[in-house]
């Protein structure tokens, strides 16, 4: 595969100044995410906050942040402010999480949850509608 020259130049600029990623996150807030396993962030990440196994970490090179669940799965990434607020909202809503009562969900349920989450994020569902549908699925 041949990468166009304009993309090569843009990648070279980012490689020369990795803090641009953190600056982009500060402008945008939260970034699109695919839940992705991590090694827990022991080398390139500083843990800023931790609660019930959930971690808010900041990349030492770029400055962007991420949220990891108790299994070190990346659940979100973006600016420090947006990720910190997300962790605070989670803590306010659910408090201390007992990891022993986690219920495994089927792939179909996870897919449906993702769909309604996107509908909520897009403004199609209200928070009340989203919560009601989520409780029905779980």
Position 99 pLDDT exceeds 50: no
| % residues pLDDT > 70 (the chain) | 77
> Higher model confidence: residue 71 or residue 24?
71
What are the structural domain ranges in the chain? 5-95, 103-138
Q: Confirm if 50 and 58 have CB atoms less than 8 A apart.
A: no
pLDDT in tens, 49-71: 888 788 899 999 888 889 888 88
């Amino acid at each position: 595969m041949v990468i166009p020259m304009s993309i090569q130049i843009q990648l070279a600029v980012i490689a020369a100044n990795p803090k641009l990623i953190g600056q982009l996150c500060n402008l945008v807030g939260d970034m699109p995410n695919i839940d992705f396993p991590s090694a827990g962030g022991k080398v390139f990440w500083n843990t800023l906050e931790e609660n019930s196994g959930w971690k808010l970490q900041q990349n030492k090179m770029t400055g962007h942040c991420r949220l990891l669940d108790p299994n070190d799965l990346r659940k979100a990434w973006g600016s420090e402010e947006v990720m910190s607020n997300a962790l605070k909202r989670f803590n306010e809503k659910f408090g201390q999480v007992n990891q022993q009562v986690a219920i495994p969900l089927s792939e179909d349920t996870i897919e449906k949850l993702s769909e309604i989450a996107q509908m909520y994020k897009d403004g199609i569902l209200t928070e009340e509608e989203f919560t009601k549908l989520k409780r029905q699925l779980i």
